[in-house]
Amino acid sequence: MSRHIAVLLGGLSPEREVSLNSGKACADALRRKGWQVSEIDAGRDLAARLAEINPDVIFNALHGQWGEDGRVQGILDTFGAPYTHSGVAASALAMDKHRAKAVLEAAGVTCPKSVLVNRFEAAKAHILPPPYVAKPNAQGSSVGVVIVAKNANRPPEILGSQNWPYGDEILVEEYIPGRELTVAVLGARALAVTEISPRTAFYDYEAKYATGGSVHDIPAGIPKNIEKMALEQALIAHNALDCRGLTRSDFRYDEKNNLLRLLEINTQPGMTNTSLAPEQAIYAGITFDDLVEWMAENAHVPCDTTGKIEGQGP
């Protein structure tokens, strides 16, 4: 008898559309592998929906707030079935960019200098000397990222707008010039280094998810010592935050000054046809279907036989 897996997709965040695409691709892959698949568009009735169908395993293909920040993981811990990706603590920490940086730097990962401020303060005057980056502290996929140019007289007005939907905590971060790199980690293995050349002004939401929005070069054409450093730093970041399954760490490489900086770690990378982690898996000899099944088969079991919640470490 085939195993029954629930694929969570959609959800409540601004990244809903990407999650719908990721979830559909993963559900189709699991069906091709012989799994019985139920797709759940995850809303606030998620616990009741799971109890209704009682799956053996849960594949969490949600992105962004609620689905990726520890809140859904708390529901899944309570439900008790094995689920993919990181647990409550790792998910919540990785989504909080400011606190995640403190942990990563303590583990020896080099990140850009940054300050956590209220967005209304960031809208009044430059917090850091331009150029710098202002971004929501708890969003993913480059949602809400603002680049402040070197010659900017004042911060962009959007930071103080009543229409700003991304929360009031803003991370103001030094701008690192140079090349965009990323590394996927699968279990205990850093897969490869990809260089991303966006067709937009920077690697924003459109560049990440629109067809043709960016060019991906794998392996990246960078010095061997930088490649080695990126692979090592991504694995350190994955372990320092106590992540599980698949993660992706994004870097900037300042070629002129030979500096590598980790921008952030994503605990639930995109699984669409333009996504970076599946591309790296294929480069490493792992087909998309095999990648998705590996994630399902290695899903985290939240409780032991006594009902005690297990740690999230490897």
Active site residues: 15, 141, 209, 248, 250, 264, 266, 270
Judge contact between 264 and 208, C-beta under 8 A.
Answer: no
The amino acid occupying position 146 is V
Q: Cα separation of 93 and 172, whole Å? A: 18
Q: Cα separation of 294 and 272, whole Å? A: 17
By CB neighbour count within 10 A (0-12 exposed, 13-18 middle, 19+ buried), where does 244 fall?
Answer: buried
> Terminus-to-terminus CA distance in the chain, angstroms?
30
